[in-house]
Amino acid sequence: MPREAATMSLQQKVSVTLLSVTTVLALLSYVILNAVVSPAFDNLEMQAAKTNLIRVDRAIAAELDNLRRISADWAPWDDSYRYIQGEYPAFEKSNLATTTLVELHVDLMIFYDASGDLRWERLLVDGEVADLARNGVFGLGSATEEKLIRHESVDSEFSGIVHTNRGAMLITSQPILTTNGTGPVAGSMILGRFLDSDMVTQLRRRTEVDLVWHSFDQHADFHSVETKKLLESDVGAVSVAVSDDVIDARSLLHDINDEPILVLHASMPRSISALGSRALNGALLFLAIAVVIVTAVIWLLLRNIIVKPLESLAGHITNIRKSGDLSRKWQINRRDEIAAVATEFHEMTVELDDARKLLLDQSFKAGRADTAAEVMHNIRNAMTPVINGIDRLGMVCSVTNGMKVEQATAQLADPACLTERKDKLLQYIASAFRHVEDSHAEGRNELAAVSTQARQVEAILSDQERHAQVSPIIESLELDKVLDEAVLVIPKRKTPVIEIDVQQEIGRFRVQGQRVGLMQVLCNLVLNAYESIARSKSSSGRIGLSASTETMGDVEMVRLIVSDTGCGFDAARKQKIFQRGFSSKSGNLSGLGLHWCANALAGMGGRIQAKSTGAGQGAEFHVLLPAAHQS
Amino acid sequence: MNGHIDNDHIRVLIADDDAHILECYREAFLETEPTGVMKMLDLLSAELFDPETDIVEATKFDVVSCSQGDEAVTLVGQAASDGRPFDVVILDIRMPPGIDGVVAGSAIREMDPDVEIVFVSGYSDVSRGELERRVPPPMRLHCFSKPLSFMQLAEDVANLVRAH
């Protein structure tokens, strides 16, 4: 994290955001699956339970239909019709027997004549012939019996469930008619089948439902919610009770008088919801794994593609801020928007660097101009009294102009000159001398005043010299860029032909120095090298520029060598080469001088050395400056 | 402020922040009182050698000086109200800490369109064109650079007053 002021890093923000989104997504998925999908499984399960009971109900109805079809074979039959009317007594012997019931899979067969008298009956209980009244099936004289025994028309037919002492029975009653279905109604034929354990087994097998039933009167809990709900519902309604493991479905069967007679009860294990729950858990697990994987992938992608490069870029910017080196470039091999931002930033900093250098130059020049203006103002002010003093000195010097001392002396020597005139002439000469003496004294005073003003000028110059000792601004400089500007000073002349040999790796060296000063030093050295080659009368020459690093004490220094193939110098000249005012140059190419260069480099914490193996052997000038850290 | 008044003299106001310079101005512009020896010499010379020679009267200046631009503006205003305006105002351009000579000259020009304004400066970053724009008219504006001979300046001032 480059700056401590930021309370949350980009990496943390990305992590928190991804974590929040995935958590919300997981919770949302969990809620949706449990609120929508899981109830759908429950509904499906309850619907299946209801369907099971409906199938049982239909199976019972099918049994009743089967019983009705058997009855439809026997009741509208001329043989049955004649038998009831007493015209076919042999019918009983040939058709009515216990085996008939067994073959027809019925438990009850009864024939009544039109007056309601019993003509033939047979009841089988557990395969054995049983008494009707004792088993509470018929012969009790109930209204239901009357309803079944007497048919008012040929279309009359009754079927349903009745209650017996041996339990509920499917029963059907049809009028006995001719085979053509014509009447009058001769009697009634009743067929019945117990809803016993065999029937339950049979229904279980057919419907594949774990079915039980109970007598409504004996087993129904009249106060239970399910029973009340069933009693208030339409016929065929199914009530479902759900527990953790089982779904209990109940429905009511009504008797032939639409009174509740049986409670059907089917229990079903909650296999569908269990399956659904497993499916949901599997889906949630898959979703969780997917979310974790996607989150991890997104996090890694964001980390590697965005966050790390941005951190690197932020570090790069921080380094630039700390070092003040605006020429540093972000070293990363990318071609995306972040790289574009970095490139734009680099170009901006380069422009800013150039602008800063320009500003420094301008500030430097402006400072110099201001200083020069101030110095000129002060010196001119100081020089004005000097000039006016000199004017007055000139007047003093011309004090004898117009005096006629020589003429007066000549007249005194004339014997013809009268005494009175001689006295005045002597008085004139004396006054002239006194005036000259007075002017001489005045001139001394003026000279002293001029001398004082001259010292003021010197004081102003000394003051400026003191200000000139201000430390230069030291900055990190790329050596190659300073040298690029320095070599521009080489004159573009036909001879000598100059080869500039710059070390390839020189661009990686940075020094701490004052840019303008160092550039002036290097310009001076390069120009000296050129002039040395030119003085050697050679038609061509080489100027070499190379650099290396070395440690001097605890300081890492950069050694820049400016070499030439020019005149060189001997040991005697080497002793004087950095002295003030020393020069071996001729012509108009002279620069600032090596004395100035040495002082300027000393001001930057550096130094300069001169090396030559002798006259005509070329020379090397070594510039040593503190190294600046590489980016 | 220093000076004396005479109706036959050229009235000059000088503003410069350097006291030594002001002293030089006064020495150049004010007439030196002849000593007794000089008077005696002049009398004897006239009597003995050239009795017909006319003594030429030198130009006389009425000099008022100050060290700041705003003082100069005040003095010009007072002189105008007294009915004795200055003939020439000599201004230094840089006179810290007060207003500079150009600002003072501009204010003086507004009060007195006829006065001759002379800028004398050791250094100025104000061009001649800028001076003419701010202190018109050009014919009554004159510029000199230090160092200069104030004796010569006194002669020039006398000449330009006579010319107008």
- pLDDT tens-digit profile of A584-597? 554 443 445 787 78
Residue B25 exposed, middle or buried by CB count within 10 Å (0-12, 13-18, 19+): buried
- The set of residues, in sequence order, having a beta carbon less than 8 Å from that of A3 and lying 6+ positions away, is A314, A318
DSSP state of A92: H
Q: What pLDDT is stored for residue A463 in this prediction? A: 74
Picking from A114, A119, A120, the residue whose alpha carbon sits closest to that of residue A185 is A114
Q: Return d(Cα A10, Cα A16) in angstroms, integer.
A: 10
Q: Which helix (H) or strand (E) holds B108?
A: helix B101-111
| Cα A441–chain centre separation | 95
Q: What pLDDT is stored for residue A40 in this prediction? A: 86
Q: What pLDDT is stored for residue A590 in this prediction? A: 43
Q: Return d(Cα A91, Cα A79) in angstroms, integer.
A: 7
Average pLDDT value for chain A: 84
Write out pLDDT tens, residues A229-263: 777 766 667 777 778 888 888 888 888 888 888 88
Rounded average pLDDT over A9-31: 85
How many C-alpha atoms does B139 have within 13 Å on its Cβ side? 5
Q: What pLDDT is stored for residue A1 in this prediction? A: 43
Q: What pLDDT is stored for residue A5 in this prediction? A: 45
Q: Return d(Cα A341, Cα A178) in angstroms, integer.
A: 107
CATH fold of A63-201 reads: Beta-Lactamase (3.30.450)
Q: What pLDDT is stored for residue A214 in this prediction? A: 80
A134-143, A286-295, A572-581 — which one is most confidently predicted on average? A286-295
Picking from A578, A1, A47, the residue whose alpha carbon sits closest to that of residue A307 is A1
Using a CB-CB distance cutoff of 8 angstroms, which residues of chain B are in contact with residue A392? 27
Q: How far A549 CA lies from chain B's nearest CA (Å)? A: 48
Using a CB-CB distance cutoff of 8 angstroms, which residues of chain A are in contact with residue B44? 424, 427-428, 431
Is it the case that residue B115 has pLDDT exceeding 50?
A: yes
- Tell me the one-letter amino acid at A408: A
Domain limits for position B66: 10-163
Surface of A (400-429) touching B: CB under 8 A? 402-404, 407-408, 421, 424-425, 427-428
On whether any CB of chain B is under 8 Å from the CB of A431, the answer is yes
Is residue B101 a part of any domain in this protein? yes
Picking from B60, B114, B65, the residue whose alpha carbon sits closest to that of residue B92 is B65
Write out pLDDT tens, residues A324-340: 777 777 877 778 888 88
Place of tokens 């193939």: A565
Rounded average pLDDT over B13-35: 86
Q: Rounded to the nearest 5°, which phi and psi values hold at A475?
A: -140, 165
Q: Is the peptide bond before A496 cis (omega within 30 degrees of 0)?
A: yes
Q: How far A506 CA lies from chain B's nearest CA (Å)? A: 44
- Tell me the one-letter amino acid at A309: P
Q: Are B60 and B9 in contact (CB under 8 A)?
A: yes
pTM over 0.90: no
Is it the case that residue A537 has pLDDT exceeding 90?
A: no
Contact check, Cβ <8 Å, B48/A404? yes
On whether any CB of chain A is under 8 Å from the CB of B149, the answer is yes
Q: Return d(Cα A255, Cα A143) in angstroms, integer.
A: 13
Is it the case that residue B131 has pLDDT exceeding 50?
A: yes
On whether any CB of chain A is under 8 Å from the CB of B19, the answer is no
Compare A257 and B109 and report the one with higher pLDDT.
B109
Nearest to A431 among B21, B37, B150 (CB): B37
- The set of residues, in sequence order, having a beta carbon less than 8 Å from that of A12 and lying 6+ positions away, is none
Q: Return d(Cα A600, Cα A592) in angstroms, integer.
A: 11
| Cα B159–chain centre separation | 12
Can you give the CATH number for the domain in which B59 is found?
3.40.50.2300
Is residue B125 a part of any domain in this protein? yes
Nearest CA in chain B to A378: B122
- The set of residues, in sequence order, having a beta carbon less than 8 Å from that of B119 and lying 6+ positions away, is B91, B92, B93, B101, B102, B105, B131, B141, B142, B143, B144
Is it the case that residue A3 has pLDDT exceeding 50?
A: no
Is it the case that residue A472 has pLDDT exceeding 80?
A: no
Nearest CA in chain B to A387: B149
Is it the case that residue B25 has pLDDT exceeding 70?
A: yes
Q: Rounded to the nearest 5°, which phi and psi values hold at A248?
A: -105, 120
Contact check, Cβ <8 Å, B48/A378? no
- Tell me the one-letter amino acid at A278: R
Is it the case that residue A631 has pLDDT exceeding 50?
A: no
Q: Rounded to the nearest 5°, which phi and psi values hold at A261?
A: -130, -35
Q: Are A478 and A513 in contact (CB under 8 A)?
A: no
% of chain A beyond a pLDDT of 90: 19
DSSP state of A76: B
Going by pLDDT thresholds of 50, 70 and 90, the confidence category of residue A356 is: confident
- Tell me the one-letter amino acid at A349: T
Number of domains in chain B: 1
* HEC profile of A569-628: CCHHHHHHCCCCCCCCCCCCCCCCCHHHHHHHHHHCCCEEEEECCCCCCCEEEEEEEEEC
Q: What is the dihedral of CA A443, A445, A446, A452, to 10 degrees?
A: 150
The two tokens of residue A355 are: 């602008």
Q: What pLDDT is stored for residue B74 in this prediction? A: 96
Nearest to B21 among A385, A421, A434 (CB): A385
Q: Rounded to the nearest 5°, which phi and psi values hold at A540?
A: -150, 165
Contact check, Cβ <8 Å, A384/B94? no
Rounded average pLDDT over A30-51: 85
Q: Return d(Cα B82, Cα B76) in angstroms, integer.
A: 10
Rounded average pLDDT over A551-578: 88
ipTM of the complex: 0.80
Using a CB-CB distance cutoff of 8 angstroms, which residues of chain A are in contact with residue B49? 404, 407-408
Q: What pLDDT is stored for residue B15 in this prediction? A: 95
Going by pLDDT thresholds of 50, 70 and 90, the confidence category of residue A564 is: very high
Is it the case that residue A4 has pLDDT exceeding 50?
A: no
Compare B164 and A160 and report the one with higher pLDDT.
A160
In 10 A of CB A341, how many CB atoms?
A: 14
The two tokens of residue A471 are: 């430390």
- Tell me the one-letter amino acid at A239: S
Rounded average pLDDT over A370-394: 81
In three-state secondary structure terms, A559 is strand
Q: Are A190 and A108 in contact (CB under 8 A)?
A: yes
DSSP state of A214: E
Write out pLDDT tens, residues B44-103: 888 888 766 555 667 889 999 999 999 999 999 999 999 999 999 999 988 888 899 999
Range of lowest pLDDT (A3-7, A173-177, A413-417, B127-131): A3-7
- Tell me the one-letter amino acid at A626: P
Q: Return d(Cα B90, Cα B15) in angstroms, integer.
A: 6
Q: Return d(Cα A346, Cα A341) in angstroms, integer.
A: 8
Going by pLDDT thresholds of 50, 70 and 90, the confidence category of residue A2 is: very low
In 10 A of CB A462, how many CB atoms?
A: 9
Q: Are B93 and B42 in contact (CB under 8 A)?
A: no
Interface test with A, best of B22, B32, B35, B48 (most A CBs within 10 A): B48
Helices (H) and strands (E) in chain B, counts: 6, 5
Q: Return d(Cα A530, Cα A470) in angstroms, integer.
A: 32
Going by pLDDT thresholds of 50, 70 and 90, the confidence category of residue A168 is: confident
Q: At what angle do helices A479-486 and A515-535 cross, to 10 degrees?
A: 50
- Tell me the one-letter amino acid at A417: C
Q: What pLDDT is stored for residue A467 in this prediction? A: 63
Q: What pLDDT is stored for residue A64 in this prediction? A: 93
CA distance to A130, A158, A173, per residue, from A70 (Å): 21, 14, 11
**The CATH number of domain A475-626, selected from 3.30.565.10, 3.40.50.1370, 3.50.50.60, 3.40.50.300:** 3.30.565.10
Is it the case that residue B30 has pLDDT exceeding 80?
A: yes
Interface test with B, best of A375, A387, A388 (most B CBs within 10 A): A388
